[in-house]
Amino acid sequence: MKQETMTKHTVNPKNWLLALYTMPKFQEGEWVDPITRWLIASRVAVVVMSVISGLLGGSLVLVGAPTQFSLSLTLLTTLGLALAHTGSNLVNDYWDARHGIDSADSPRVNYGPQAFVNGEFSRRQLLVSTAVVLAVAALIGFYLAYVAGPLVLVFMALGAAVLLFYSGDPFPLKYRGLGEFAVLLVWGPLMVGGTYFIQTQTLPLWVIVASLPYALGVTTVLFGKHLDKVDFDARNKTHTLVVLLGEGRARWMTKILVALMYVSTVALVVTGVFLPTALLVLFALPLAMWLWKIFSAPKPKTPPEWAIGWPLYFVGVAFIHNRRFGMLYLLGIVLNIAIHLLFPGLQMPKLF
């Protein structure tokens, strides 16, 4: 019996990796170690999107200003972005719970634990933890501003305003149809462009454009999330862009954004910003075609066999596609860098 109890209460690092990759569900009454519960509560599985944006920004430094590249600044900036995103998840869950949007019967609580609703942690524990995470992110930001100059504070202020007030008072962007635009801005020009600026003190137009293919993908994930609960949001007068557009038009908008991810990448190659290695993203096309098919019809009444985390449906497909696209996009840029290192005389005309 003692051995069985110890086994039940043993920390399981495999669950940490599972929580970093997806939103796992455990059987009722099953013991889950505190670290796993915190990782799930703060939704770190989606923080990979911020990690990719930070690494993209550092990679673009190697493309445009290789002598100014700093691995330590790239990793530190990426860590700060990941912590800011984690804290933002908790802040937005707090406001959605306080506004009554996330309740015991809401889709958000059904597809994964909502820390401020499920009661696994006290509100004080959650708020203190959120404050600590955001404080560390802020300290990293202030250090980066010290290293790179006060203009970094502008990127910090804009990013913090969007991340913290996505659902928060006094002007919750999500409830006014601005959440999707905010995500495009943050995961593109602010995160990718900000990482580039910290190391070069410049922000060329081509960097902003190069940030958009991946930022468009992050935006499709948010469209998928809001499509999954469009009826619930409409009943609760949460005016996301999906609610304002209507379910059918929002599905079409998502498909257009996916197409733009590939069109913009091809344009970056054609204009000479990247070598054809960036076209590795085309290996994500099978997932894009699957997404196109799924988003071409309304959400079914019952879950298909492949659905994970029902009532999630659209968002899972969008997230899987975006993760694949983002990793291939990053790999294509890394190969672009490697080719230029091997053939330093190779020059590609840039039209930006």
The helix/strand/coil state of 176 is strand
Among 254, 234, 252, 232, smallest CA distance to 243 is for 234
- Phi, psi of 239, deg, nearest 5: -85, 70
Give residue 29's identity as a one-letter amino acid code.
Answer: G
User: Candidates 1.10.600, 1.10.10, 1.10.287, 3.30.750; correct CATH number of 25-342?
Assistant: 1.10.600
Identify the residue whose tokens are 């499920």. 118
Size of the chain, expressed as the number of residues it contains? 352
Q: Indicate the pTM of the whole model.
A: 0.85
Residues in the chain where the model's pLDDT stays below 50: 1-7
Among 302, 320, 295, smallest CA distance to 226 is for 295
d(CA 42, CA 35): 11
pLDDT of 152-191, one tens digit each? 999 988 888 887 677 666 777 777 888 899 999 999 999 9
Helical ranges in the chain per DSSP H:
2-8, 13-21, 34-41, 48-64, 71-98, 107-111, 115-118, 123-148, 152-164, 179-185, 191-200, 205-228, 230-235, 241-245, 247-270, 285-294, 314-342
The helix/strand/coil state of 239 is strand
Identify the residue whose tokens are 């202020």. 157
Helical ranges in 123-246 per DSSP H:
123-148, 152-164, 179-185, 191-200, 205-228, 230-235, 241-245
d(CA 345, CA 114): 54
